[in-house]
Amino acid sequence: MPELPEVEIVKQSLNKIVKFKTISKVIVNNRNLRFKIPKNFEKSLKKKKITKIFRKSKYVIFQINFEQYLIMHLGMSGTIHMSDKGNKKNTNISFYHGRDLPEKHNHLIFFFDKFKVIYNDPRRFGFVKIMKSKDELIKYFSKLGPEPLGNKFNTNYLKQKFNKSIKNIKNSLLDQNLVSGIGNIYASEILFRSKINPLKKVENLTLSEIRKIISKTKFVLSHAINKGGSSIRDFKNVSGFKGNYQKEFMAYSRENYLCLNRGCESKIIKININNRATYYCKNCQK
């Protein structure tokens, strides 16, 4: 599943091609995504202009005609493709899959003047929703925690939240009500760089450790965005560049490899926490 940096890159890619463009028509090939697409979906978007594109947590949000919003979540296997008219080549502007457009599972097609944008999702865990007003949009996201790159995600905020929790730090970072957008990959990377054991209870974290989590979270996510996200398979964004952050993983997917911290001779181990693969160094992460 794409995490905050990958969704941010998808948003940036879409900004380059669909902002201020008018949707000429929409075709829905399959309404049975995670949430069923309503029958009036196509009509509500036809001849409407996309006036803004932004990200909230792991969602891409399209502002339509300054008055309504289209929310898109890629789920586990959703990808977005762009196809030029008269050009058989396609650009995959999503993650974890090859550049070419698959033949099956093209559930949504958005037509513009000179190109089309296609939503493909084999497992159908993704979804789209239309919000009719800004108030409705705000209410929909009201339970999400603050953005980890924003000012509200700070030491005082985490200290207050951790005082009321008995969770371990790995599960806490994955809790979207605590902080929005962090997933399994980046949680492991953040904790490795913070030198904190993923099983450590948050109530036992020191103020210094909380500060480390804040700073390393902002560093890891910002650096991943600058590197174009993590290409677990063969992601390329709309400009044709591949995400490169996976080359800088220090913990994730490095089981049995030597720890990269200077002077450490231990190997990265893999454990499961709530059925999620977790990678860390027993020697460095206390």
Q: For residue 21, is it within any domain?
A: yes
The string of pLDDT tens digits covering residues 213-265 is 999 999 999 998 887 654 433 344 444 444 455 677 999 999 999 999 999 99
Q: What is the pLDDT of residues 15-73, one digit of tens each?
A: 988 999 999 999 999 999 999 999 999 999 999 999 999 999 999 999 999 989 999 99
Same domain, yes or no, for 246 and 135? Answer: no
What pLDDT digit, counting tens, does each position of 134-175 carry?
999 999 999 999 999 999 999 999 999 999 899 999 999 999
In this predicted model, what pLDDT tens digit does every residue of 58-93 receive, in sequence order? 999 999 999 899 999 999 888 888 888 765 556 767
58 is catalytic: yes
For residue 147, being part of any structural domain is answered with no
DSSP secondary structure letter of residue 241: P
Q: In total, how many domains does the chain have? A: 2
The verdict on residue 286 lying in a domain is no
> Is residue 132 located within the same domain as residue 176?
no
Please give the Cα distance from 174 to 180 (Å, whole number): 8
Whether 189 is catalytic: no
Question: What is the sign of the dihedral through the CA atoms of 42, 48, 50 and 52?
Answer: negative
- Domain termination residue (choose one: 92, 116, 140): 140
Catalytic pick from 19, 21, 267, 276?
A: 276
The pTM of this model reads: 0.88
Regarding whether 186 and 116 lie in a shared domain, the answer is: no
CATH of the domain at 100: 3.20.190.10
Q: 205: domain CATH number?
A: 1.10.8.50
Select from 89, 116, 140 the last residue of a domain.
140
Q: Active site residue: 3, 8, 189, 209, which one?
A: 3
Clarify whether 2 is annotated catalytic.
Answer: yes
Identify the pLDDT of residue 81.
Answer: 87
Catalytic residue among 2, 5, 148, 198: 2
Q: Which of 11, 55, 56, 58 is catalytic?
A: 58
How far apart CA 207 and CA 162 sit, in angstroms, is 11
| 146 part of a folded domain | no
Q: How are strands ordered across the β-sheet holding 48-56?
A: 22-23, 48-56, 59-64, 68-73, 127-131
Annotation says 34 is catalytic: no
Domain holding 20, by residue range, is 4-140
